[in-house]
A and B are shown apart, each in its own frame.
Chain A
Amino acid sequence: NAGVMQNPRHLVRRRGQEARLRCSPMKGHSHVYWYRQLPEEGLKFMVYLQKENIIDESGMPKERFSAEFPKEGPSILRIQQVVRGDSAAYFCASTTPTGAYEQYFGPGTRLTVT
């Protein structure tokens, strides 16, 4: 049973470009969470999605960031017009729809903005 998959693992973008981060949850999981981790810090919640539905986006910056989890395919975290401050590790986690509390994390995507 494959775990949570994220790609790419590393992404380098120049300022002003767009970054697309993908997350495929574990098989049977329909809840996806995105977190961001700055160097030497803990993870900070960004957004919680179910299939075709954003449940909680209270941690998302108001501009340039968006997330989706379509009926088919992976969840996408999209960052438009990246700036150096967006450089971080972005982690995706998934859970089952049955109310489990434990979240299973992917290996993360390390975004570097030059």
Chain B
Amino acid sequence: SQQGEEDPQALSIQEGENATMNCSYKTSINNLQWYRQNSGRGLVHLILIRSNEREKHSGRLRVTLDTSKKSSSLLITASRAADTASYFCATGVNTDKLIFGTGTRLQVFP
């Protein structure tokens, strides 16, 4: 089964609100990454957090990692309609394959 499970599966919010997505995984990891995928398009890398880090920021994105609970969260602040996309977490053990979660579909209404 897939390494990552994401919650919620779908999320609808108004522009300006914050969006929080959660990801849980099963085994020890080296790093966890978040990707965005617009409908019918490829994946765009958003942020990478290593297993020895607890929090990371990039612009309006904030990622946390709790290795004791094997979970991560992605917070998008002050959301925009252009943030509408599917968001995936992916875990890596080393430079090998990434194991992707099932994704959260975010819809931001203007």
Contacts and interface: CB of A to CB of B under 8 A. Distances in A.
Interface of A: 31, 33, 35, 41-45, 48, 55-56, 59, 91, 93, 95, 99-108, 110
A106 B95 contact: no
A16 B35 CA distance: 34
9 contacts: A33-B98, A35-B100, A43-B90, A91-B43, A93-B98, A95-B95, A101-B50, A104-B45, A105-B35
Interface of B: 2, 4, 30-31, 33, 35, 40-45, 48, 50, 88, 90, 92, 94-103
A56 B97 contact: yes
A45 B97 contact: yes
Pairs of residues from A and B, 8 with the lowest C-beta to C-beta distance, nearest first: A42-B100, A45-B97, A107-B42, A105-B43, A43-B100, A105-B42, A101-B31, A42-B102
B45 A44 contact: no
Contact of A48 (B31, B96, B101, B103): B96
Nearest to A91: B42
Contact of A101 (B4, B30, B40, B43): B30
Nearest to B99: A45
